[in-house]
Structure 1
């Protein structure tokens, strides 16, 4: 698959963007992940182990792109609560808050806690803006984590790995994992058989989407090489506030939309940042995407539907 963002295929993938209000429901069937937006899962019964991914809630943001980010997060959580089968946990891929303020974390915890789901998190760059660069995040969420907050756990027959790539950003803001985290990742994976499905999650994309905007991770190739022996690897990220997907060998990449506000597509604006959507067009920016990873094959089946009524 080409990495040219101007190509029709990539342009179509990046157009699968929504303004907020939908998380991603992930199901493990026989240890193989498959995804569907929460809105598309209503009335359906899933078979297998499932979890929900949300991202970029930006609690504390109150600008024109969305003056009620708590409300759109609540809408997302309401949809999750209405699922026919309860997910095992909620996975948040960063930017919980907008400015790393204690009240923003408190408000986010109160809202997300109302779901009564276990929560696994990684920080976004907006969560580590305190003077000590992430210590407040670690003090709140880092129990049992290693280094700057990376960790792993097993669930549903898969091995989950949460990475931190939002500290010590490089160049135009590209993420960075660093030597210590890469060494830990190599040791963590060494104990897993090649048949173990791996779910890797971090805030910034672990593939380069737009380097000039910092939409990538400078040393991600070193991490991805460690995953080459595994038959099923799913990589989940946030940060860009729109859906972008790629399949490369045994790797399936998926970035989630925000529950707060959209960002422009690369090439359509001078810089990333909150994108104001006219209120009357809001629902045309909400959509459903079903993504299936077929066991034994490395093909990605994608179906997109808007929520415009």
Structure 2
């Protein structure tokens, strides 16, 4: 295999398991599609919840998992078009100086990625204690849009507000942006918290997420990717699909499956179980999700 690995096998390497999504992004082929111009097939990688700065149980390799993920992505035979980090880049701290130190260390580690087209958004661990001030010093705006090969990407910030809201100003910004998109536009939304009420008792919700979903609903082809819950989960609000990503630090229990939202214990017989990241492949002629689960491999 040499120094490169196939896209279909990279998630099982370095002790990090995950899921692969081959996705038409809900209506990839439309009348506006222009093959070879702006709507070519492409894929990107989503990583989430690295919690750099976390120490101790349950992950004895807390200072190594992020580097393993970087190495695995760099080892891909074909590099992704871009990489998206969906929040909680660092672990929370009350010390502003330590928060900046962790953000700086995280930025230095991911600078080793071969792919330089990399996008970041905060999680509540990065931003809730200072309304995203430190995050913005290192990574820029907490909400923004970009376009890639015929897909419109929207990054929403539902963490800088300690109450877990998007807020009226950002919702107005979202409405204005969507007003410029045709009804059949291919739209992908990135958030940290889920936009729907997955399990509000554990803070697995967005207080005004239903308003964002309502704004998105008139568009026929919308897919949402998020983090926060440290596990794979798939949910539909009408025709809008929501997919959560595993974390790079520790897995959390299924919603409501135990009294408290405490990390699942480390299994020395199956190290890195429950950790992972994902590839999302957009294909013009395919509108179904093909999911391949890969086992964790002990290094």
Shorter-chain TM-score tier: 0.7 to 0.9
Which of 174, 180, 200 is matched with 1:185 structurally?
174
Q: Are 1:23 and 1:76, in contact at CA under 8 Å, matched by a contact in 2?
A: no
Q: Does 1:306 align with 2:299?
A: no
Task: Provide the rounded CA distance (Å) in 1 between the counterparts of 2:213 and 2:296.
Answer: 35
How far does residue 289 in structure 1 lie from its aligned partner after superposition? Answer: 8.0
- CA 1:155–1:297 in 2, change beyond 3 Å: closer, same or farther? closer
Name the structure 2 match of 1:3. Answer: none
Name the structure 2 match of 1:273. Answer: 262
The count of aligned residue pairs is: 267
How far does residue 290 in structure 1 lie from its aligned partner after superposition? Answer: 8.6
Task: Provide the rounded CA distance (Å) in 1 between the counterparts of 2:251 and 2:144.
Answer: 29
Name the structure 1 match of 2:226. Answer: 237
69-78 vs 85-94, greater mean Cα deviation: 69-78
Give me the CA root mean square deviation.
3.0
User: In structure 2, the residue corresponding to 1:69 is in which secondary structure?
Assistant: coil
TM-score (norm 2): 0.79
- CA 1:176–1:202 in 2, change beyond 3 Å: closer, same or farther? same
Q: Are 2:26 and 2:186, in contact at CA under 8 Å, matched by a contact in 1?
A: yes
Higher relative contact order (CA 8 A, sep 6+): 2
Task: Provide the rounded CA distance (Å) in 2 between the counterparts of 1:154 and 1:27.
Answer: 19
Name the structure 2 match of 1:63. Answer: 56
What are the equivalent positions in structure 2 for 1:221-232 lying under 5 Å apart?
A: 221-232=210-221
Task: Provide the rounded CA distance (Å) in 2 between the counterparts of 1:129 and 1:250.
Answer: 31
- CA 1:261–1:288 in 2, change beyond 3 Å: closer, same or farther? closer
How far does residue 155 in structure 1 lie from its aligned partner after superposition? Answer: 0.8
Cα shift readout 1:170-192 (whole Å, capped 9, x = no counterpart): 4xxxx311111100000011111
Q: Are 2:89 and 2:123, in contact at CA under 8 Å, matched by a contact in 1?
A: yes
In structure 1, runs of 5+ residues without a counterpart are: 1-19, 34-46
User: In structure 1, the residue corresponding to 2:269 is in which secondary structure?
Assistant: helix
TM-score (norm 1): 0.76
Which of 16, 22, 30 is matched with 1:21 structurally?
16
24-33 vs 244-253, greater mean Cα deviation: 24-33
Q: Does 1:254 align with 2:253?
A: no
Task: Provide the rounded CA distance (Å) in 1 between the counterparts of 2:134 and 2:197.
Answer: 29
Q: Are 1:29 and 1:48, in contact at CA under 8 Å, matched by a contact in 2?
A: no
What are the equivalent positions in structure 2 for 1:1-309 lying under 5 Å apart?
A: 21-22=16-17, 48-99=41-92, 101-117=99-115, 118-128=117-127, 130=129, 132-142=130-140, 145=141, 149-170=142-163, 175-282=164-271, 284-285=273-274, 300-307=289-296
Task: Provide the rounded CA distance (Å) in 2 between the counterparts of 1:95 and 1:183.
Answer: 25
Q: Are 1:289 and 1:303, in contact at CA under 8 Å, matched by a contact in 2?
A: no
Task: Provide the rounded CA distance (Å) in 2 between the counterparts of 1:112 and 1:23.
Answer: 19
22-31 vs 55-64, greater mean Cα deviation: 22-31
222-231 vs 186-195, greater mean Cα deviation: 222-231
